A and B are shown apart, each in its own frame.
Chain A
Amino acid sequence: MDNNTLLLLGDEAVAQGALDAGTSGFYAYPGTPSTEIMEYVQHSSQAAEKNIHRMWSANEKTAVETAIGMSYAGKRTMAMMKHVGLNVAADPFINSGITGANGGIIVTVADDPSMHSSQNEQDSRVLANFAMVPILEPSNQQEAYQMCFTGFELSEKYQTPVVLRLTTRIAHSRSGVKRGAPLKENELTMPEDKRQFVLLPAIARRRYKLLLEKLPALEVEANNSPYNHYYEGSNKKMGIIATGIAYNYVMENFQDQQCPYPLLKLSQYPIPRAYIDRMVNECEEILVVEEGMPVVEEKLRGLLDRGPAIVKGRMTGELPRDGELNPRHVRKALGMEARQSASAPEVIAPRPPALCPGCSHIDTYNAINEAVKSEYGDGHVFSDIGCYTLGALPPFEAINSCVDMGASITMAKGASDAGLYPSAAVIGDSTFTHSGMTGLLDAVIEGSNIVVFILDNSTTAMTGGQQSHASGRLFNICEGLGVHPDHIRSIIPKRNTHDQFVQIIKEELAYEGVSVIIPQRECVQTQLRRAKQKKKGGEA
């Protein structure tokens, strides 16, 4: 490989692409499979030299809002998150379509079909379509890199945010990426119209019309996009539309030959109708292959398609309705014979992820189980998103919910409002500052009878140990929100503090009002890493 070619994860290709395309600020909250974008920027000497903004945000909403602020000031900016993070950021994101951009703004969202590390497999193209903004969906790492340049150009030309949609298999797959010439950052420039970002009804109505007026031109851009291509094919019995990485799964099955069917590779939206018309005119059927939900397929079929299906895909059983695609699924949908393969022997046992040996959450769940589950039965502990969600599995089976970031506290309050006693919440330190604080305020205002455990391992552990905004601030935050200081208890969760921990829980269960218990002990993974770094430093 020459010096200009790097071996990069899809996530890293986006980071390098955005750096080279002149990004002045990155804003993100960690979430699999998007985390490595920010981590790459944080380790980049290029970013350090230019002092590019690269600190984590409290959550995805603050990340997108801050990015909109940077766009207002004329600079190029990127906000990054996993698919469910876009829900948290939906309010500013949807409205940013209406305010439009000044400096280029790209919202990079990494979807997780098959839910490898997620609670759902929603497709970010749906929210992007809802916001009526263009989408770029790379089929490989090189495109992921290049699309950062394209995204900013589109964003500034049409004053619109652009969504860069990744999925797990490109985000976490490594390949060679050839770098282009780096661009300079934009100068600080305020928007020409100083009221552009003021969404007062009168202005918002005008801006919304502007947004609607952009759509035909954006479709022309997609029609002329280098990422979209219509490949001729002699067999017109079927035409294929393959979006993003699904294109690879189609081509994998034609490795040493040309695809015999007309094939539309689709990686830039809105869907260019000229290509669709052409395929409809020349093919008897259309197979839509897309990673994620049947977004394009549903658009093509519509409610009026009630006869024998012309458009096929995930909705007609040619491809699975849910889960991520793979070459085998697509091979079957193409009507090709399956490759010969053996099945896995029955002796294999499943090996689910588990809390690490020595993890502080183990001691916390042992104490909670003794004080709550043993005394009052199963069903009283609401939990949240993080490593500690693994407390749902044996041997603990200690928690009864995991819905979204922050829902532990609010669900505990709701159940308590309904009369459930005891009602407890378990939330991690980083999740608490992401979305737990407002729920705790609700509980404090009403004096809800709940016990909130804030599991402080001083890091964002599940995603690999990113800095937590909560570190060193939990007591003050809880007190500031109005929790009585006598009922903010802390403990170091260890085997030899078990009895003391159980006693504290019992005391707080007896208190009628909001209690917060903070088990505080560093994540064993970050501790190990710190020890290694210290050793390395000592040797050097």
Chain B
Amino acid sequence: MKLDIILAGVGGQGILSIATVIGYAAVESGLSLKQAEVHGMSQRGGDVQSHLRISDKTIYSDLVPEGAADIILSVEPMESLRYIPYLSPEGWLVTNTTPYKNIANYPDLDAVLKEVDKVPQHVAIDADGTAKDLKNPRGMNMVMTGAASLFMDIDFEKLKEGIRYSFGRKGQEIVDLNIATLEAGRKFAEENRSS
């Protein structure tokens, strides 16, 4: 088993909270993990990505090779496109459709979503909206994790454990809310995957 994920977003959107949940699930499943993060200057509102590699064999490179990612999991639509060279021909692009516009020349959103549509295997979800509907306005990242979980060879229950681990100190209510958010993301992907 090998699972290479590119997590993408904008500095400050908290993509590392996704890595924590998936990483916990992987380690609890007895798998090896390497996770390369971006720290420093880019965290100030620049484009950020994390390479999350999970395998039952030795993982050598800390970086996912181009053309090898099984999933691009992006919390921002334009950022999802930036990493397309990493996507394997059989890979899935799973992206939030809510743009994060902190630059003056942000492209036309329709043009961005059209490019997402061109990727043979993709899921595009309004994760911000879904999270708000669930009264979990800060749950966008867990909607995205749930949506992408459909394409991960990892027990879904283990991801829930990852949420218990990540949010446990905030109380049972928050844990339950985020598990519901995770499930909603997965359900959306089941019903709306491109193929």
Residues of chain A touching chain B, judged by Cβ–Cβ distance below 8 Å, are: 1, 7, 9, 32-33, 35-36, 116-117, 169-170, 172-176, 245, 247-249, 251-252, 255, 326-328, 331, 338-345, 347-356, 387, 390, 394, 462-464
Contacts and interface: CB of A to CB of B under 8 A. Distances in A.
Most chain-A CB neighbours within 10 Å: which of B34, B40, B66, B88? B40
Interface string B139-177: 000000000000000000000000000000000000000
A328 B66 contact: yes
B54 to A, nearest CB: 11
B89 A340 contact: yes
Contacts of A390: 44
What are the 4 A-B residue pairs with the smallest beta carbon separation, nearest first? A341-B67, A117-B40, A339-B67, A32-B40
Given A326-B61, A354-B103, 12 more contacts: A116-B42, A117-B41, A174-B23, A248-B61, A327-B63, A341-B66, A343-B84, A351-B78, A351-B102, A353-B43, A462-B40, A464-B39
A344 B84 contact: yes
Contacts of A339: 65-68
A256 B86 CA distance: 20
Contacts, number: 158
B15 interface: no
Nearest to A245: B62
A262 to B, nearest CB: 18
Contact of A348 (B66, B78, B108): B78
Contacts of A247: 60
11 contacts: A116-B41, A172-B37, A174-B23, A174-B35, A249-B63, A327-B65, A341-B86, A348-B81, A348-B82, A356-B44, A464-B39
Contact of A7 (B27, B47, B78): B27
A341 B118 CA distance: 14
Contacts of A348: 78, 81-82, 107
Given A1-B27, A354-B46, A116 B38 contact: yes
B174 to A, nearest CB: 12
B36 A32 contact: no
B19 to A, nearest CB: 8
A118 to B, nearest CB: 9
Nearest to B10: A351
A248 B62 contact: yes
B45 interface: yes
A82 to B, nearest CB: 10
A176 B102 contact: no
B1 interface: no
Contacts of B59: 175
Contacts of B27: 1, 7, 176
Contacts of B42: 116-117, 353
A245 B10 CA distance: 27
